[in-house]
Amino acid sequence: MPYLPKHPCSKRDCPELVEHGKRFCPEHQREYDREYARTRPSPAKRGYGSAWRQTRIWFLRNHPYCEIQLLCNGDPATEVDHIQRVRGPNDPMFWEPENLRAACKRCHSSKTACFDNRWGKKQNASKK
């Protein structure tokens, strides 16, 4: 299978070439990640404070294995996923047990990467 050619880094005036599927060279990717982390609200401000941590612990005790199973065969769950997207703790679906499912780190990260981009917007299915 032929490899796709490298392309220029997306940072203006950067001459570095990057692999297909990446936007930035390693130096500019770190810069982009730092800026993203600086502008993103903290988990507590997004609704994942102490009340969520208690809910998460309770849910994982009652659902110890991955329910997504995209990349595993029921590995131990370490994360709790909202099935239907929620806007925060004021959304009625945020706390509904029917809207939660247990997930291992690999499956949860894969599910998030497939269905959401970094800014939380729905991606086109052809871009998977």
Please give the Cα distance from 128 to 65 (Å, whole number).
Answer: 26
pLDDT > 70: what percent of the chain?
88
Please give the Cα distance from 102 to 49 (Å, whole number).
Answer: 18
Q: What is the mean pLDDT of residues 8-33?
A: 94
- Return the pLDDT at 1: 56
pLDDT tens, residue by residue, 47-62: 889 999 999 999 999 9
pLDDT above 80 for 125: no
Record the pTM: 0.65
pLDDT tens, residue by residue, 79-118: 999 999 888 888 999 999 999 999 999 999 888 888 765 4
Bridge-partner residues for 76, per DSSP? 65
When pLDDT is cut at 50, 70 and 90, the band that residue 119 belongs to is very low
Please give the Cα distance from 89 to 50 (Å, whole number).
Answer: 12
The single-letter DSSP state of residue 127 is: G
* 18 in Cβ contact with 6 (< 8 Å): yes
Average pLDDT, rounded, for the chain: 87
What are the CA-CA distances from residue 72 to residues 95, 99, 104 (Å)? 26, 21, 8
Please give the Cα distance from 77 to 34 (Å, whole number).
Answer: 29
